[in-house]
Amino acid sequence: MNNFSTSDSLFSKNLSLNLGGSFMSLSTPKIMGILNTTPDSFYAGSRVPEPGQAVERAREMIEQGADILDIGAVSSRPGSEDIPESVELDRFIPVLEALREAFPEFPLSIDTWRSGVARSLREQFGINMVNDISAGEFDLGISICGTGNGINMVVNKHQGIRGALCWNEEISRLARAHNDANICAIPGRFVNESEACLIVKAFLTTSFEGGRHKPRIDKIALKMY
């Protein structure tokens, strides 16, 4: 079995994980302990929504030989409820604060597909690794069609998607800042190339402001029945 497109075997003296500047050798198998702050993750035994529970379970895992801990705050099981980024952070932060205090040097990984969450937690807690099940494909996106209406209706039928129809740069900026939109729908028939580039740039460089907008965004997550 090959790894990282090399001729080395998966467990090789020539391979290692870069954990934020420190290297973990893969010459022997490594054990990752799983902690979930969610109420609905696949395995009930991994659920530790309270910081104290997380520290206790983490200590058990470390004593049993875990080499790294992976913490998740959003369930990816089929039919799971989508939550906004703000709720994901609210679940992560108390547990990570407790884990960093209890085990300041132990390698921590976070399970998230949101770049904003990863960036924030890296800055706050020095997270060593991001376990992204989307491989970077579930973040911001662009959709283009004639008027933009049809495709925007379609993308908004998918869990976790907040599509915004953006006709100009200002609407694009507000879609991100006030609505935390993650798909920018552009009406290809009605904007030229330079206008489209400005729309996309505004969308990709504007962050959600939160604040008074947060309660409204928290209410629009798609429910699964």
Domain boundaries in the chain?
A: 31-131, 141-218
Task: State the average pLDDT for the chain.
Answer: 83
**CATH architecture for the domain at 31-131:** Alpha-Beta Barrel (3.20)
pLDDT band for position 200 (cuts 50, 70, 90): very high
pLDDT higher than 80, residue 137: no
Position 68 scores a pLDDT of: 94
pLDDT higher than 60, residue 223: no
Task: Pick 141-218's CATH classification: 3.40.50.11440, 3.40.640.10, 3.40.1400.10, 3.90.79.10.
Answer: 3.40.1400.10
Alpha carbons 12 and 6: distance in angstroms, whole number:
11
Say which residue, 35 or 6, is predicted with more confidence.
35
User: Do the two domains 31-131 and 141-218 of this chain adopt the same fold?
Assistant: no
Q: In 3D, which of 129, 181, 128 has the Cα closest to residue 156? A: 181
Position 42 scores a pLDDT of: 59
Q: What 3-state class would DSSP assign to 17?
A: strand
Could you tell me the pTM of the whole model? 0.58
State pLDDT tens for residues 39-86.
766 556 667 778 999 999 999 999 999 999 999 888 766 666 667 788
Position 169 scores a pLDDT of: 96
Position 3 scores a pLDDT of: 42
Q: What 3-state class would DSSP assign to 144?
A: strand
Position 186 scores a pLDDT of: 95
Position 147 scores a pLDDT of: 93
pLDDT band for position 220 (cuts 50, 70, 90): confident
Alpha carbons 125 and 93: distance in angstroms, whole number:
9
* Residue 208, Cβ density class (10 Å: 0-12 exposed, 13-18 middle, ≥19 buried): buried
Mean local confidence (pLDDT), 152-167: 87
